Amino acid sequence: LLAVKKLEKRVASQQKDDEFIELVENIDRIQHVNVVRLMGYCAEHGQKLLIYEYCSNGSLQDALHSDDEFKKLLSWNTRIRMALGAARAL
């Protein structure tokens, strides 16, 4: 399964194609167990899409900021380890 992120038209129209390709190449270099892998991209007809490996557990945003049970399972120690792991990947 894949997840597709569609960039806002306002952002996509302001960004040159070569800048977008450079961004895609930089994202593609990030290889870490805590970072969802970029599978591909599309830049046609004035739209820009990023295609990622699908993550069935939801987004990091959801895990950190939602009010459900998943958020309650994340202790501060776990959150710090996640932040350090993501920082190392970047």
Q: Report pLDDT digits (tens) over 33-89.
A: 777 889 999 988 888 999 998 877 777 777 777 776 666 677 888 888 888 887 887
The pTM (predicted TM-score) of the whole model is 0.62
Please tell me the predicted confidence (pLDDT) of residue 59. Answer: 72
For 1-55, CATH number out of 3.30.200.20, 1.50.10.20, 3.30.930.10, 3.40.50.10260 equals 3.30.200.20
Domain boundaries, the chain: 1-55, 57-90
**Which contacts of 56-59 are long-range, i.e. CB under 8 A and separated by 24 or more positions?**
56/1
Tell me the pLDDT tens digit for each residue of 5-21: 898 877 767 778 888 88
**Which contacts of 77-83 are long-range, i.e. CB under 8 A and separated by 24 or more positions?**
82/34
